[in-house]
Structure 1
């Protein structure tokens, strides 16, 4: 079994190494990941400059790894279309430092890498752990190692990826697995205006997370209650329920 790993935190991130270490116990692992942190790059791809690929020494033995001066989606695209002489059985993205819940998935480079694999017909999972600081990846990587072979045993839907968020708690405190829908997680943004030494203005984006933790069955609710959240996502953003209503508008040109 061959599995391709990528992420948006960069090829040298601890989360990627932890995931690679566990998955290498059950599969042949290849890593193609950004050369630096590319968080919140969504599904951006590089079109107006060359992509450069460089082999790197990876901290896990017997794993071939490359870094790419592009986005997570670039990494998946170039790996599947130009670098690898085989089609992997699955693409795994992560383990992301921080959750990808609710509307986070729109901005997430981690999730978008998995979406790119899905577009190209390869089963994909995005993994995230729900902490930003002092992150320990033992629980998340161990659970990923348990889940991946179980998921691969079943028929993986062609147009679906799995977004898996894992609570940042010891494994014995995990309540179980919950199949979830996207919850409400958005941001009250604020831009802090400053001036550089030359007097020119610049801005830092900051914000406050706003969550609805009471929406039972959502990914946000599951994480609050120490469940592993597995959300099936599809990249077709069409709102099918409103097509008939829009047709009744009788729009003309």
Structure 2
């Protein structure tokens, strides 16, 4: 089985090293193509206004001066002699839960793989405030990664779908198991924008990554993680809201 690894945290990210170790338990035919620098929040963006540079680190390891989508595109069209059987994106440093998947470069790399008709899985390690910076513990992802992936290796994926996996911020032996759940939804109205002033007196802003509430009371990826489970969620690229088609069409008759 040929596996392509990518991410949005960059070619030197600790989570990519974790993903390599997980993938090595599944195959010895592993290729890597990831952004040369961190691209968190890049979403499904594609570089169109400047050249994309490709760097080869060894026989099967490459980096791209571009986005996660660029990385998958270059791997499939310029690097790999044959398409991979599986694309794994991650392990992301931080959660990709609920509607945050629309911002996620990690999930978007898997989206790109799904568009190419390749079984694709995104993996992310949730962390607590104590894991800020470079101190994110990947213990849950490393221990549970193979257990999550093996059942998916021979599972037929529906066309233009992928699987999104999130590991809870717990020690491996504290994880309660694996739940297959739907995507949750955040309350972005409660999000924050942090304002400060630079040394020259000009204001600048950081988008806050805290204080966003989520919808309680139903089984979603958000609740699964909060309850201590690995969250496994099937996602689709068809964003059409089918229930609105008829009422919207009636407006133009």
Give the distance between the partners of 2:136 and 2:78, measured in 1 at CA: 34
- Residue pairs, 1:170-181, within 5 angstroms: 170-181=171-182
Q: Choose from 228, 231, 234 the match for 1:229.
A: 231
Distance 1:161 1:68, change over 3 A: same
Deviant stretches of 4+, over 4 Å: none
Q: Choose from 214, 217, 225 the match for 1:215.
A: 217
Alignment check: 8 A CA contact 1:95 1:141 kept: no
TM-score (norm 1): 0.90
| Cα drift, residue 196 of structure 1 | 5.2
Give the distance between the partners of 1:225 and 1:96, measured in 2 at CA: 20
Q: Choose from 239, 249, 252 the match for 1:250.
A: 252
| Cα drift, residue 176 of structure 1 | 1.5
Give the distance between the partners of 2:183 and 2:236, measured in 1 at CA: 12
Give the RMSD, CA atoms, in angstroms.
1.8
Local SS of the residue matching 1:82: helix
- Residue pairs, 1:34-49, within 5 angstroms: 34-49=35-50
The gaps in structure 1 that reach 5 residues or longer are 58-62
In structure 1, the residue matched to 2:73 is: 77
Deviates most, 132-141 or 38-47: 132-141
Q: Choose from 87, 91, 94 the match for 1:91.
A: 87
1:47-86: CA deviation from partner (whole Å, max 9, x where unpaired): 11111111226xxxxx821111000011001111121111
The gaps in structure 2 that reach 5 residues or longer are none
| Cα drift, residue 200 of structure 1 | 4.7
In structure 2, the residue matched to 1:60 is: none
In the alignment, structure 1 residue 122 sits paired with structure 2 residue 118:
yes
Local SS of the residue matching 2:211: strand
Local SS of the residue matching 2:66: coil
